[in-house]
Structure 1
Amino acid sequence: MSTSSSAQAARQRLADQLREIREDAGLTGRKLAELAGWHGVSKVSKIEHATRPISAEDLRTWCRVCDVPPARVEELLAELRSVTSTWLTYKQLNRGGLRRAQESVRDRYERANQMRAYATKALPGLLQTEPYTRAALRAVFIEQGVEADDAERDIAEAVAERMDRQRVLRRPGARFAFVLEEEVLWHRTIDRTTHIAQLRHLLKAMRRPAVSLGIIPRQADRTINGPGVWPEESFLITNAEQVNVELVSGYLSITQPTEVAMYLAAWDRLFALAVHGERANQIIGSALESLESH
């Protein structure tokens, strides 16, 4: 279970509703467990304290025992699905293959009026070339043990989905800001030809009207505004309402306002360190020149 306050708060909200439903039905935890056919009261207690996730089957049983109307049951099931998606292991996210995982986030990109992405490891998907994306998703396939009947077809379809998603960069009124640690330009996780093409693509992408691309130089003085500004985990902020973080163990979706505010503050600190325009162009050009000369 994720330690994110957003994930925990979502679980607790659902747990509180289930406790209220039990109390309104005039049942003790022990009586509910008895009517549900569960051994002992500990299961009920853990669910109500949000220390144990409830399954859809158990939620339906809870509602049946407490005589909850069908419409309310559907509302609770929908909330359970939302709670479950707050924290997803990569096994859960990619259960249906890489293509479906990519499709699952399309709506968020298409509805976004503003996106802010900070990257420390890899280039954000909206800035990737097709070969770079293919290499990245193939690595995901191998590292995370994604199951698919036809691996190459799944990768190809996932790549196509991500490339099609880049159309949002042309949507009128939408704005996309990116801040990259300079090291991202130098990480040799792809072959030299793909790397060169990717850096050239960055130079073109930063000229798009809807795109702002900033780079934090290796030599940036991170103490210039007081306490040192340390690198953070890569994150994506959508409409100042949701933050997504890809961790080693899973995919985190943050919507708790206080926690979103922390990422917005982190973005401001990091953005202040970044250079843009011609200076960013020069940094990319330096990395590109090094690759082309070796």
Structure 2
Amino acid sequence: MSNQAQEAREALGARLRGFRKDAGFASGRAFALATRWAESKVSRIENGKQNASEEDIRTWCIATNKQDQIDDLIATVRHIDELWLEWRRQFQGGAEKRQSKAIPVYAKTKVFRIWHPTLVWGTVQTSEYAAATFRQVVDFFDIPDDTEAATAKRLERQQYLYQGDRIFNVLLAEQALYTNFGGPEVMKGQLDRLLAVMRLARLSLGIIPRSAPVHIWPGNSFSMFDDKLVLVETYSAEFSVTQPREIELYAKAFALLQQSAVYGTAVRDLIFTAIQHFDRMPTD
């Protein structure tokens, strides 16, 4: 669980503990007897070790005569749940639905800060490269195969590269130029696409060479949308960061990563070298 989600869960537990004490239940055991719960469940919820369900909230508030707090606390529970979304749950029914959720976020964002240490950012992917990544998602999570629809929805985000006054600050590690999705021809097409989009005045493409001194560990990929939201991806889940002090840490990390990056002609040279690498690879 993300730090923000855990902190929110602990704060909710502390609030519920206050309700219990205010209602005259001096101990978790007394409250457990009144609600016919296990004492350990009361303890886990109050200490942020277990998620409280919406039904738990209703039971707790009724038992402590805090019915007027039910709606507010249920909203809190739903917010905590949204902070950490399991990929399998997000991909129920396929990958297209998750891609659709990105469109409103992109429409509202003016400044993007994107970091990816191992693959090319989705919004500048070719259809062939994107399809290769989605086929892996389908296999890994064992979800319905909607690769074509998911690819089309991802490519829809490219419109924002040409609309409004948005600024795109994109950082990739050199490894992203070599992580092989789809074979040499797909990779060369993707690398050509990078050469094309880096000419856009609104897009700044930096690459961190593999031997560059670093000022912070590379960590997971993340996407920053203005100073309002950061999305961080792991193998099991994607979590949202919305707490200002945590967003500041990601902004600081991005700035430190930028110090290791090269731009302009040096980026083109790295891309051309990667193209030559795939030129030498057999295509079968």
**Same fold (TM > 0.5):** yes
Offset of residue 284 of structure 1: 1.1
**Long gaps (5+) in structure 1:** none
Structure 2 equivalent of residue 190 of structure 1: 182
Matched residue SS, 2:120: coil
Native 8 Å contact 1:5 1:256 kept in 2: no
Structure 1 equivalent of residue 37 of structure 2: 38
The root-mean-square deviation of aligned C-alpha atoms, in Å, is 2.2
The reply on whether 1:140 has 2:137 as its aligned counterpart is yes
1:136-285 mapped onto 2 (5 Å cutoff): 136-146=133-143, 148=144, 151=145, 154-220=146-212, 222=213, 229-285=216-272
Range moving further from structure 2, 54-63 or 16-25: 16-25
Amino acid paired to 2:130: T
The reply on whether 1:10 has 2:12 as its aligned counterpart is no
The reply on whether 1:126 has 2:123 as its aligned counterpart is yes
Amino acid paired to 2:94: G
- CA deviations on 1:57-115 (whole Å, 9 max, x unpaired) are 22222233334446x42332222121012122322222343122222333322222211
Offset of residue 12 of structure 1: 1.8
Structure 1 equivalent of residue 113 of structure 2: 116
Matched residue SS, 1:132: helix
Offset of residue 203 of structure 1: 1.1
Structure 2 equivalent of residue 83 of structure 1: 80
Amino acid paired to 1:219: S
Amino acid paired to 1:238: F
Matched residue SS, 1:176: strand
In 2, distance between residues paired with 1:57 and 1:105? 31
The reply on whether 1:291 has 2:274 as its aligned counterpart is no
- Cα separation, partners in 2 of 1:284 and 1:78, compared to 1, 3 Å: same
Range moving further from structure 2, 48-57 or 236-245: 236-245
2:51 to 46, 50, 53: 53
- CA deviations on 1:125-160 (whole Å, 9 max, x unpaired) are 1111111111111101111222x3xx2xx2222222
Amino acid paired to 2:46: E
Indicate the percent of aligned positions where both proteins have the same amino acid.
33
Scaled by the length of structure 2, what TM-score is found? Answer: 0.89
Matched residue SS, 2:205: strand
Offset of residue 181 of structure 1: 0.7
In 1, distance between residues paired with 2:159 and 2:22? 50
Matched residue SS, 1:78: helix
Native 8 Å contact 1:32 1:62 kept in 2: no
Matched residue SS, 1:240: coil
Amino acid paired to 1:55: S
- Cα separation, partners in 2 of 1:64 and 1:171, compared to 1, 3 Å: farther
Offset of residue 31 of structure 1: 4.2
In 2, distance between residues paired with 1:167 and 1:33? 55
Amino acid paired to 2:210: R
Native 8 Å contact 1:243 1:254 kept in 2: yes
Range moving further from structure 2, 283-292 or 77-86: 283-292
Amino acid paired to 2:84: W
Offset of residue 120 of structure 1: 0.9
Matched residue SS, 2:148: helix
In 1, distance between residues paired with 2:15 and 2:150? 38
Structure 2 equivalent of residue 95 of structure 1: 92
Native 8 Å contact 2:58 2:67 kept in 1: no
